[in-house]
Amino acid sequence: MGKKVMFYPGCTLKGVAKNLEDSTVESARVLGYDFIELPGWTCCGAVYGLAQDSVKFTIANVRNLIKAQNYGKEIGDNRLIAVCSMCYNNLRRAHIDVMKNKDKLKTLDLFMDEEANYEGNINVLHYLQFLKNDVGFDNIKKMVKKPLKGLKVAPYYGCLLLRPEEISIDDREDPHILEDLLQLLGAEVVDYPLKNECCGSYHTVDKKEIVGERTYKLVSVAKDMGADVIATSCPLCFFNLDKRQEIAKKKHSEFEHMPIVYFTQLMAIAFGLTSQDVLHFDKHYISPEEVLKKWL
Amino acid sequence: MKYTIKKDPHEDERVQKIIEISGQNIFSCYQCGRCSSGCPMAEFMDVLPNQVFMFLQEGDVDTLLNAKTPWICAACFTCTVRCPVGLDLAAVMEAIRELQLRKNYDYVDPYKVDEREELPPIAMVSNFRKFTP
Ligand code: SF4
Ligand code: SF4
Ligand code: SF4
Ligand code: SF4
């Protein structure tokens, strides 16, 4: 048994992004950690509310933080790990928001009168931060069995790991935490100037043509830079960059498809975890199997 | 795009409401254009991000309420982190949407979304949170 740490999966990982969930939990296991799903978690709401006069988008997040506070005391650990960029962003922003605006916290504590009050000591971390600062990149390197030598990866952060500033997991304009990890897995990281540019996000529901254009640009530039795959950590970025290639191709006949992967899948493969029970390539619109077959 | 000073924004209720909801001092924008130059959605907008502040400063809320721009913004926070005076434009865009959503306006009708089976929950949850009351 590894060391117990709380994990917040989020609703998308429980279904369409099973490939992200399993590769996260199983790669953590290799590193000696037991990711325990936060008991009783609820969906975070995906986007953080920006209206200053309302707390309606903060409630669910604070409720989750309180659940983490309770369970954290049981296992003696205050860290809450998320891997979906939006979950991370939401939980972290909510924590910072109520710590800065005590009146909001008071309103919420009064509203949620059956729960304990939030004491403010939950440390929300993105999996990448946890890997770098808590596990240590050196320890990750030791577990690499199949270095991804020759695989050219474009690292994609998107928005919500880096913005707004207060939640950024690295330098917001020139991050390299993902590059550093990919490199120690043995992969070749290509310079990707659009790594922190938005994919079009939730417009994929009602304005998918716009997202198709964003995808066209993001994937084409990655291709121009020599990448074989784009690595991301967000199920919405993933869906847009993967599935919306269909629209990009329809509109631009010269467009070439490229598989999209989660960085956690690459880590799992480098650790020798190549079972489809972990990787779930059936969740991809563009299968990465061909590009990755050397290591599978 | 034509600019005319419509009304003293200090006396316009809707401008004041936008300031209240967003928590931003819209008068501190000095039109440097940095928000628009880095905006990934600018090419799809009818009013550029910096022009949003221009219209607000001129008390012209009607133009903003009729514009596509607030509904095209993806809340990516690129402008927010780059504005030299620290304005959170993403929050202002949200405030303009809120003026309409709070009147029970549905920008997106969840029942009319096609391919609902193929969209991940994260897409629908975020979309409906931004575009429905
Ligand atoms: S970000 Fe999305 S997937 Fe993650 S929990 Fe929230 S709504 Fe669900
Ligand atoms: S890249 Fe797209 S999905 Fe990812 S965080 Fe940005 S807007 Fe959201
Ligand atoms: S970056 Fe800031 S100051 Fe410059 S135009 Fe945009 S909002 Fe105004
Ligand atoms: S938050 Fe909106 S306005 Fe600002 S850069 Fe992103 S899409 Fe453009």
Residue B132 to residue B48: CA distance in whole angstroms:
23
Query: By C-alpha distance, which of A201, A194, A200 is closest to A46?
Result: A201
HSE-CB for A290 with a 13 A CA cutoff? 7
Distance B76 CA to ligand 1 centre (A): 16
Query: By C-alpha distance, which of B73, B119, B95, B92 is closest to B28?
Result: B92
ipTM, 2 dp = 0.94
pLDDT higher than threshold 90 for residue B117: no
**What per-residue confidence (pLDDT) applies to B41?**
98
**What per-residue confidence (pLDDT) applies to B31?**
97
CB contacts of B19 in chain A (<8 Å) are none
Whether A198 sits inside 8 A of B121 (CB atoms) is: no
Whether B129 sits inside 8 A of A10 (CB atoms) is: no
Residue A43 to residue B93: CA distance in whole angstroms:
25
- Residues 121..180 of A with a Cβ closer than 8 Å to B: which? 159, 163-165, 172
Residue A244 to residue A209: CA distance in whole angstroms:
9
Q: Report whether CATH 3.90.199.10 matches the domain B9-102.
A: no
Query: Least CB-CB distance to B120: which of A45, A53, A239?
Result: A239
Residue A25 to residue A262: CA distance in whole angstroms:
13
Task: Return residue ranges of chain B for CATH 1.10.1060.10.
Answer: 9-102
Ligand 4 near B77 CB (within 6 A): yes
Whether A236 sits inside 8 A of B98 (CB atoms) is: no
In A31-84, alpha helices (H): 59-75
Domains and CATH numbers, chain A: 3-126 (1.20.1050.140), 146-295 (3.40.50.11810)
**Exposed (0-12), middle (13-18) or buried (19+): which is B43, by Cβ within 10 Å?**
exposed
Query: Least CB-CB distance to B81: which of A53, A165, A204?
Result: A165
Is the minimum CB–CB distance between A33 and chain B shorter than 8 Å? no
Atom of ligand 4 nearest to the CA of B49: 3
**What per-residue confidence (pLDDT) applies to A166?**
96
Backbone angles phi, psi at A133, to 5 degrees: -90, -30
Residue B19 to residue A164: CA distance in whole angstroms:
20
Q: Give the C-alpha distances (Å, rounded to integers) separating B39 from A46, A49, A127, B82.
A: 21, 20, 28, 10
- pLDDT tens figures, B67-114: 999 999 999 999 999 999 999 999 999 999 999 999 999 999 999 998
- Residue A188: beta bridge partners? A152
Residue A99 to residue A60: CA distance in whole angstroms:
16
Query: Nearest CA to CA, how far is B131 from chain A (Å)?
Result: 10
Strand pairing category for A33-37 and A3-8: parallel
| Average pLDDT for B42-51 | 98
Atom of ligand 1 nearest to the CA of A44: 6
Pick from B93, B98, B122 the residue to mutate for testing the A interface (most A CBs within 10 Å). Answer: B122
Other C-beta atoms within 10 Å of A254: how many? 6
Residue A32 to residue A26: CA distance in whole angstroms:
10
HSE-CB for A185 with a 13 A CA cutoff? 27
pLDDT higher than threshold 70 for residue B3: no
Q: Which residue has the tokens 């050196």?
A: A138
**What per-residue confidence (pLDDT) applies to A13?**
97
Ligand 2 near A162 CB (within 6 A): no
Per-residue pLDDT of chain A (296 residues; tens, 9 = 90+): 899 999 999 999 999 999 999 999 999 999 999 999 999 999 999 999 999 999 999 999 999 999 999 999 999 999 999 999 999 999 999 999 999 999 999 999 999 988 899 999 999 999 999 999 999 999 999 999 999 999 999 999 999 999 999 999 999 999 999 999 999 999 999 999 999 999 999 999 999 999 999 999 999 999 999 999 999 999 999 999 999 999 999 999 999 999 999 999 999 999 999 999 999 999 999 999 999 999 99
Our measurement of the distance from residue A118's CA atom to the centroid of its chain's CA atoms, rounded to an integer in Å, reads: 25
Query: Nearest CA to CA, how far is A144 from chain B (Å)?
Result: 32
Is the minimum CB–CB distance between B120 and chain A shorter than 8 Å? yes
Distance B7 CA to ligand 1 centre (A): 42
Is the minimum CB–CB distance between A59 and chain B shorter than 8 Å? no
Residue A268 to residue A25: CA distance in whole angstroms:
10
Residue A184 to residue A110: CA distance in whole angstroms:
48
CB within 8 A of B40, min separation 6: which ones? A197, A198, A200, A214, B74, B76, B78
- Residue A80: beta bridge partners? A6, A124
**What per-residue confidence (pLDDT) applies to B127?**
97
Whether B75 sits inside 8 A of A47 (CB atoms) is: yes
Q: Is A53 helix (H, G, I), strand (E, B) or coil?
A: coil
- Residue A5: beta bridge partners? A35
Query: Least CB-CB distance to B126: which of A47, A163, A243?
Result: A47
pLDDT higher than threshold 80 for residue B1: no
Q: Per residue in B101-114, is it b (16+ CB within 10 Å) or e — as a string?
A: beeeeebbeeeeee
Residue B73 to residue B88: CA distance in whole angstroms:
13
Ligand 4 near B72 CB (within 6 A): no
Distance B77 CA to ligand 4 centre (A): 6
Q: Which residue has the tokens 């270095």?
A: A147
